[in-house]
Structure 1
Amino acid sequence: MSKAVNQLSLTKIAITLVVTAIAIRLFTLGFFPLMDTTEARYGEMARIMAETGNWITPMFDYNVPFWGKPPLFTWMSAAGISVFGLNEFAVRLPHLLAGGLILSIVGLLAYKIMPSRISSERKQEAWLAAGILATTATFIVVAGAVMTDTALTLGITLSMAAFWLNYKNKSTFWGHLFFIGLTIGMLAKGPLAVVLIGMSLFIWALFNKTWMSMFRSLPWKTGIPLFLATSLPWYVIAEYSSPGFLNYFIIGEHIKRFLVSGWQGDLYGTAHKEIKGTIWVFAIASALPWTPIFIYQWVKSLQVTIKTKRETKTQQDDDTTELSYTSFLWAWLLAPLLLFTFSGNILSSYVMPSLPAFALLMVTYQRNNPLSSKVYKTGFIAPALILIIAILLRTEVTSKQSEKGLMQTWSAQAQNSELIYINKRPFSAQFYSRGVAVERKIKLEVAVKEITKDTYFVTRKSNETTFLIKSLPQCKLVKEAKKRVLVFCTAS
């Protein structure tokens, strides 16, 4: 009776985790501005795409093609703008929907993995897998952000889940979905997706010695043409529309970016420089608040496995299947971490493709070594923190920067005036000014002398700037932000 009560309680907790995480993330989509640099940059690219109607080549700026990533993330946010208008909710919603698809795939795989178990147990594991994933630190943040990682994770998750379901129960449907997942990955982040999926399957096959059965399980004759027909056309058209794209994207973004720490060839910013191996630190942080529980369950699982091997030399079919499945999840989890171990140019979001496997492993360990349902209330930490962070970002308490406040003041008074950023124009300024803001490498006092019409300037906030503005009779301070000020100057 107590087991049934605990099972029911755990199911309720898991469902509540999923609903709470999605609800809070949905609420916060439009609650705070796009922050510089990543979200504002990608949001501005989506805005330009929606405005110009150029759905082939993402644009870093007007008439400046962006070769750094394929277009899927831009298509997603540009589609949101086309439907809901130009706002934060519109550019973020498609990425949250992609996150919802990832949760659904993970839940489905958890449900189908042990068909011999009763339905209520399988439903519990489905909800628990989704609940754990939804409340990991990186997933709950990135799944509602304008970034490339959610689309990449969707492609990898679909391919990995489809592979396993096809491998265990030969299915044309799942076999072809494996290749659709490859396409999503190729359009989200390029060959990196194929490498990560291939690396995961390689590690798994190496551990289990299942090379032939792995290759025979997939419908290569129809799957490869499906993959090429759905992914290759954009690459061909993109190179035709913007010659040089393939060389930069394949050689620069996929080789030099990851092997050359502090790579200087980045056309669109500064390469991230981390100590090699930092990806493992990111992994521990990305899986919080679940990391300690996962480590505990993993150690317990090792102890049980060692004890079982000592007591018996025979394995039941279910045991063999579960061992193969567990090693499959470990291969999926480890592949991104191993690949990025020797890279210094990384972000914490690079861990995200590992998180679905992490959640599924936790469910597997819970099945074999059940913990009290109360332990899983730990997951409510993540939604609570994301709400607090959203409030802090909205009130501009954090060090994160956005030009939304200055641009709102400017747009309310703009009329036909120009808008010039002195020395540096953040991406959020481009987004919130709808592309009106321009950048000039010039001193404010020199720029003021050159204007022929009323002009707004945005420049660095400092005591020297305040003194300078007071010394310019045709200029007045309009608004101050944390790092910059908005100045209005009339033409002489």
Structure 2
Amino acid sequence: MAKVSDTVRRCTHVSCCTAWYVLAEIATPGFLDYFIVGEHFNRFVVSGWEGDLYGNAHDRPRGTIWLFWLQSALPWSLILPVLIWKKRTQKHDIEKGHTGLFSFLIFWLLSPLLLFTLSGNILPAYVLPGVPAIGVLIAMLVTQKDFKWLWGASALIPVMLMIALLVLNMGKADSRSDRIIFEKTLPELPVFYVGKRPFSGQFYSRGQAKLLQDADILPSLSQYHLIGHPEQVTALIVQNSLSCTVDLESQSGRSLYTCSNTHGE
């Protein structure tokens, strides 16, 4: 009876998942191609894949995920190999009462790195699923004797994090984001990106900022905003004889323009 019940639950789960995918495809045509083919295949085999609906392509050399792990897990990414080497002859004592745990944690740690080694379209956050394993491994390997050389790194981490937060709060984060631009836009005006729309532009505009596909729509608007790198926006302005003023030059390299069309409706 229990086996029948488990089978019913599994079938119900599969049916619900299938129905969700069908509804997602109906609501947003192209979702299945984007999510199943794009995210699970093209992201790995097509470097700089341009099919991402919710962000930008991130064209990286193959194997960059290991560099991301080294940076994201500092200083433990440097300390862990040293600990493993120092305790290489004590594996059975370390695993006493938990046979196989050490190997499990190593595979846990390495699995996202191995998975994304062949992918050129990655972000630093992709290492995060394996990071908890580092903490457990450190806890297994560290003994009281190790504190003589380990306490320095342990004390340094909070200081480094505080410095990083201070730097970000002083405006460094704005060098990669368009958040500050949307603090200056007028909510009643249409907003268009020239050249490329970054994910921050989509996020901070709540999806209202669009990528300008056809400049022919601009004469029908009385007033609107343009966002983009100055050379690209300037070329568009000259080519279409637009009347625009620069409102903001952000650290991201993109500028905000307000344009008026006296002949618009």
The reply to whether TM is greater than 0.5 is yes
Q: How many angstroms does 1:330 deviate by?
A: 1.9
1:239·1:245 contact (CA, 8 Å) conserved in 2? no
CA gap 1:271/1:299 in 2 versus in 1, 3 angstroms: same
Alignment identity in percent?
Answer: 29
Q: How does 1:315-394 map to 2 (within 5 A)?
A: 321-367=97-143, 370-372=145-147, 375-376=150-151, 378-394=153-169
Matches of 1:239 and 1:464, distance apart in 2: 40
Partner residue of 2:182? Answer: 407
**Counterpart secondary structure, 1:233:** helix
1:424·1:441 contact (CA, 8 Å) conserved in 2? no
2:225·2:256 contact (CA, 8 Å) conserved in 1? yes
Q: How many angstroms does 1:427 deviate by?
A: 3.4
Q: How does 1:1-150 map to 2 (within 5 A)?
A: none
Q: How many angstroms does 1:267 deviate by?
A: 4.7
Q: Which amino acid aligns with 2:21?
A: A
Q: How many angstroms does 1:362 deviate by?
A: 0.9
Q: How many angstroms does 1:236 deviate by?
A: 2.1
Partner residue of 1:278? Answer: 64
Q: How many angstroms does 1:438 deviate by?
A: 3.1
1:254 matches 2:61: no
Q: How many angstroms does 1:363 deviate by?
A: 0.7
User: Deviation string for 1:40-95 (max 9, x for gaps)?
Assistant: xxxxxxxxxxxxxxxxxxxxxxxxxxxxxxxxxxxxxxxxxxxxxxxxxxxxxxxx
Q: How does 1:169-184 map to 2 (within 5 A)?
A: none
Q: How many angstroms does 1:233 deviate by?
A: 1.4
> Which structure carries more helix by proportion?
1
User: Deviation string for 1:391-433 (max 9, x for gaps)?
Assistant: 434444468422222221223xx5x433333343333333333
- Provide the alpha-carbon RMSD of the alignment: 4.0
2:194·2:211 contact (CA, 8 Å) conserved in 1? yes
Matches of 1:405 and 1:388, distance apart in 2: 22
CA gap 1:478/1:222 in 2 versus in 1, 3 angstroms: same
Matches of 1:301 and 1:487, distance apart in 2: 61
User: Deviation string for 1:175-208 (max 9, x for gaps)?
Assistant: xxxxxxxxxxxxxxxxxxxxxxxxxxxxxxxxxx
CA gap 1:275/1:399 in 2 versus in 1, 3 angstroms: same
Query: TM-score, with normalisation over the residues of structure 2?
Result: 0.72
Query: TM-score, with normalisation over the residues of structure 1?
Result: 0.43
Partner residue of 1:206? Answer: none
Q: How many angstroms does 1:364 deviate by?
A: 0.7
Partner residue of 1:237? Answer: 20
User: Deviation string for 1:24-50 (max 9, x for gaps)?
Assistant: xxxxxxxxxxxxxxxxxxxxxxxxxxx
1:418 matches 2:187: no
1:436 matches 2:208: yes
Q: Which amino acid aligns with 1:432?
A: Y
1:266 matches 2:41: no
Q: How many angstroms does 1:261 deviate by?
A: 4.2
Matches of 1:265 and 1:404, distance apart in 2: 23
State the structure with bigger RCO (CA 8 A, min sep 6), 1 or 2: 1
Partner residue of 1:427? Answer: 199
Give aligned pairs, total. Answer: 253
Q: How many angstroms does 1:288 deviate by?
A: 0.9
Partner residue of 1:62? Answer: none
Matches of 2:231 and 2:70, distance apart in 1: 40
Structure 1 spans left out of the alignment, 5+ residues: 1-218, 306-314
